[in-house]
Amino acid sequence: SQQGEEDPQALSIQEGENATMNCSYKTSINNLQWYRQNSGRGLVHLILIRSNEREKHSGRLRVTLDTSKKSSSLLITASRAADTASYFCAHGSGNTGKLIFGQGTTLQVKP
């Protein structure tokens, strides 16, 4: 399977703390993306990092990419209770438009 792995599977933190989740993948990639899913519903795109980029920021989100290790991390700073959700990394390759999703990390932020 080309599906990537994420760790931790579950993360529970207090509001205000930072949350870090990691993703590994197996194939060469054009880009790596992170998505958020609330309560098992539709996913929402958070951020995309290209294979030639090493770090990217968007608001409270910071994403890193290490193509030599085939890994990425998502950092959410100053977490809020509303950040409680499942987070998935996904990568595409070629021009098919298809994305392969990681196993996901379930984040709980306690108020």
Interface ranges with another protein (CB under 8 A): 3, 30-31, 33, 35, 40-45, 48, 88, 90, 92, 96-104
d(CA 89, CA 73): 9
102 vs 109 by CB, closer to another protein: 102
- Please report how close the Cβ of residue 13 comes to another protein at its closest, in angstroms: 21
| Torsional sign, CA 84, 24, 54, 17 | positive
104 vs 107 by CB, closer to another protein: 104
- Please report how close the Cβ of residue 90 comes to another protein at its closest, in angstroms: 8
